[in-house]
Each structure stands twice: as C-alpha cells, then as structure tokens.
Structure 1
Amino acid sequence: MSDRSMQEPTLLILTALADRPRHGYGLMQEIATISAGRYRMRTGTLYGALDRLLGQNLIAVDREEIADGRARRFYTLTGQGRAALTAEAERLRSVAAEAERRLRAPRPRLQGGAA
C-alpha cells in the first residue's frame, strides 16, 4: 500500500480478517459489528473490494467449503495485508493522539471577542 490513508471499506475488511479467515457473508456481519452498525457493506461493494485486495496481495483465499449446496470462499490476511493494517492502525493512533493533544491545549483568545 502507499503512504496514503486507507479507504474505509479496505480498513474494515482487513480489520475483520485480522483475527481469523471469514467468508463473504461473515465479513459483512463482522464489518457491521466493528463499525457498531454505522457501516453496512453491500454485496457488490464487498466482492469488488475483495477482488481488488486479492490483486494487491493484501488478502488470499484461505479455503473453499460447500455449505447448503453453495460454495463459500474464506479469505485471510497475507503478511503484506497484516503489515498494511498495522501501518494504518499506527497512522490512525498518531492522528488521534495529535487531535487529543490539540483539544487539551489552551485556546488563544481571538481579537474582537469571538471565541
């Protein structure tokens, strides 16, 4: 990945895969949980993102299973995906720490009485 911040769908997918492999529907459920219901990924968005992440070698197919006559493909983080997620988590921590530092700093008084 580049030095740019991750798009939210990428961050959520990689986070959902950080602890164990998951299939598509499981990913959609986990993403809703991680985001406290704020983000509900649509099927088309998810599978488009999964294809892109596979192409970037951030995720890999872990295995395929047949459940109720349907194939389920499970995805897992690659080493590169884990490194990218680790870097993004550190970037977010750094930005959040700076925001908190600035919020705690005394606010200078503006001329003219505006606050």
Structure 2
Amino acid sequence: MTEQAFLVLTTLADAARHGYGIVQEVERLSEGRVQLKIGTLYGVLDRLAADELVTLDREEAHQGRLRRYYRLTDQGVHALEAEAARLTATARYATERLRARHAGGTA
C-alpha cells in the first residue's frame, strides 16, 4: 500500500469526507509532508474504489458545485487495520535494532 493510499484511508477512518477535505486532512496528518494534488487524489480514490476499499457515500451541492463524499468500506477498514499493524511492527523492529546497536556501542 502506498503512503498516499494509507493516508487517504486514514482520513476516512472516522468520517466520510469530500475531496478537498481529504486533501486538507492528509496534509494535517502528515504534518505538511504529503500534499496531494486533486488529480493525484482522485487517482488514489479510483484505485481504492476499484479495490473496494472506499465507496461513494453521498453527493451534495455546495456553492453550485457537486461535492462527492467518500467513506471506507468494511474491506477498507480491514485493509487499514492490517497496514497499520504492519507499519507498527516494522517500526518496532527498527527501534529494537537501533537499541541493540546503541547497547553494543556501535556508532
């Protein structure tokens, strides 16, 4: 799973969001490190929808424009849980190895 896909799924974990809301939340979650362009976002959303990890929740008119809101599917929840567990385990392994390196006095 790409970092962009992981962050998009993460933004949808607690609520359905429209495209611009997803872009803003990804930027906030990544502390500004990941800044999705709208075209990139919709490419990610299309792939996630094709994999049945997200789905269209609703459409609303806002200032004369249609906003599409996306939400996680049950499969999306499971995929996000699995990826979060994988990343947590990987970070734990890295931390353990760094501690071992420092304990051994290796610089």
Question: Scaled by the length of structure 2, what TM-score is found?
Answer: 0.94
Matched residue of 2:79: which SS?
Answer: helix
Which one has the bigger helix percentage?
A: 2
Question: Runs of 4 or more off by more than 2 Å in structure 1?
Answer: 106-109
Cα RMSD for the two superposed structures: 1.1
Match among 9, 29, 36 for residue 14 of structure 1: 9
Identity %: 52
Gap runs ≥5 in structure 1: 1-5, 110-114
1:54 counterpart = 2:43: no
Cross-structure match for 2:77:
82
Paired residues, number: 105
Matched residue of 2:39: which SS?
Answer: helix
Cross-structure match for 1:93:
88
Take 2:87 and 2:11, find their aligned partners in 1: how far apart are those partners? 17
The one-letter code of the counterpart of 1:31 is V
The one-letter code of the counterpart of 1:22 is R
Cross-structure match for 1:45:
40
> Which has the greater radius of gyration?
1
Take 2:50 and 2:90, find their aligned partners in 1: how far apart are those partners? 29
Gap runs ≥5 in structure 2: none
